Amino acid sequence: MEHVVAETPRLTESAGAVFAVLAQAGSATRPQLASLAGLSKPTVSAAVAELEGARLATHSGTASGGTGRSAAVYGLGPASGSVIAVDLGPARTRVRGCALDGTLLVEADTPRIRAADAVREALAALPAGAPLRAIVVAIGDVTASDLAGTGMRPATAKAGPVFDAVSVALPPGVPVHLENNVNCAALAELHEGAARGRRTFGYLRIGVGIGLGIVIGGQVLRGANGAAGELARLPYPWDDDREPRQEALEAYVGSHALLRRAAEAWQDTDGPCPRTAEQLFALAAEGREPARSLVARHAADVGRLAAAVAAVLDPGLIVLGGSTGADPQLLPGVRSELGRLSWPTEVVSSQIGDLGTVVGAARLAVAKGVQNVTEGAQVKD
């Protein structure tokens, strides 16, 4: 099956703006488009005619709601095409294909070993004949900057092999964008999670590793090395008479440390030691010791991490996610430690969970795809 790469005729500026707004809204009437795009009625009429001609928009019904003449409703047309997002997680690979209005077309969730096949299957299941406009791959690593020429971006050492294994399944000629998985999850929280309506916030993920996704003015902050939010490199331990060691913080506040402490605590008791973070949190929810105090202590640690973030960024909102971070039991402890140390900052738990990374990657892919349409050519980022 062939995925044709956009030979869309160059759109006028207003048609591009209208398309972007239509993609965001999913479907809309001309007056709605005019108001959303900040254009006049005649201009929108012309733009819609242009989009219909290019099969980028189609008349999909009429809105007969209130008083007055009923308006024609438009939606995305068949030529608008689709995008695909891949989350290369440590254990599982998740794939999502979406239309440019964000509607889900294909979904897959497989063990990592089947990643390339899953991508191929997803590509085959997308509507043929319409262009594939963007590919976003989320990885658990710092993402390097653009490689000149191809438009693809190589992963650094940590996630390089995984990415290479999947990249053979990607169709040539379509722009590929690599993005950090925590950044993707932050975008998911921004658009359909706990940070909806915000412009600036931090998404703090605590699992085996720790990471921060920073959103400022609706944009992900990537940093000069693509390493913004890589909190593992915060100086730790840090005191008058102690030397910080590299990446020591992750070993101390990550979920491994939590389970290690649990194992130590359970040595002095009888009863089975919890083997996963979920088991530990379940015991703590019942008020059992030593689970409760271990969780309380973890909350204080997370609160300190959040305080470090607030001291630098003052984001106003921190969303907690990750295997040990997302549990609402942490909230009181995190809030009190953060409040004690730093600036007034709202703290809430993630609303999306494990799917956050694919969902956010798909959001990013949709944005790139829309850009691809409105700017006529392939987007370089």
Positions in the binding site for DNA (CB under 7 A): 12-14, 29-31, 38-43, 45-47, 62, 64, 66-72
Using the rule CB under 8 A, is 343 a contact of its own copies?
Answer: yes
Q: How many CB atoms lie within 10 A of CB 246?
A: 10
Task: Specify whether the CB–CB gap between 336 and 314 falls below 8 A.
Answer: no
Query: Which of 36, 73, 317, 348 is in the footprint of its own copies by CB under 8 A?
Result: 317
Classify residue 165 by burial, with Cβ atoms within 10 Å: 0-12, 13-18, 19+.
Answer: middle
Nearest distance in Å: CB 136, DNA:
29
Judged by CB, which is closer to its own copies: 131, or 226?
Answer: 226
Judged by CB, which is closer to DNA: 12, or 269?
Answer: 12
Judged by CB, which is closer to its own copies: 117, or 146?
Answer: 146
Query: Which of 41, 59, 242, 260 is in the footprint of its own copies by CB under 8 A?
Result: 242
Judged by CB, which is closer to DNA: 39, or 83?
Answer: 39
Whole-number Å distance between alpha carbons of 303 and 195:
19
Name which of DNA, its own copies, none residue 11 binds, using a CB cut-off of 5 to 8 Å depending on partner kind.
none
Whole-number Å distance between alpha carbons of 95 and 110:
9
Report which of 184, 186, 148, 150 is spatially closest to residue 167, judged by C-alpha positions: 150
Whole-number Å distance between alpha carbons of 219 and 225:
17
Nearest distance in Å: CB 322, its own copies:
17
Contact mark string toward its own copies, 182..201, x via CB under 8 A: ------------------x-
- The residues pairing with 108 across neighbouring beta strands, listed in sequence order, are 95
Whole-number Å distance between alpha carbons of 336 and 218:
28
Nearest distance in Å: CB 79, DNA:
20
User: Which are the contacts of 77, defined by CB distance < 8 A and separation ≥ 6?
Assistant: 51, 52, 54, 55, 56, 57, 58
Name which of its own copies, DNA, none residue 343 binds, using a CB cut-off of 5 to 8 Å depending on partner kind.
its own copies
Per-residue tokens: 239: 């005191």
Sole window of 106-114, 228-236, 263-271, 351-359 interacting with its own copies (rule: CB under 8 A): 228-236
Name which of its own copies, DNA, none residue 309 binds, using a CB cut-off of 5 to 8 Å depending on partner kind.
its own copies
Give ∠ CA 141-142-145 in degrees, rounded to 5.
Answer: 135
Using the rule CB under 8 A, is 228 a contact of its own copies?
Answer: yes
Q: How many CB atoms lie within 10 A of CB 180?
A: 26
Using the rule CB under 8 A, is 215 a contact of its own copies?
Answer: no
Judged by CB, which is closer to its own copies: 29, or 143?
Answer: 143
Report which of 72, 95, 76, 77 is spatially closest to residue 85, judged by C-alpha positions: 95
Whole-number Å distance between alpha carbons of 93 and 110:
5
Judged by CB, which is closer to its own copies: 123, or 338?
Answer: 338
Interface residue list for its own copies (CB under 8 A)? 200, 212, 214, 216, 221-240, 242, 244, 246, 252, 304, 307-317, 340-345
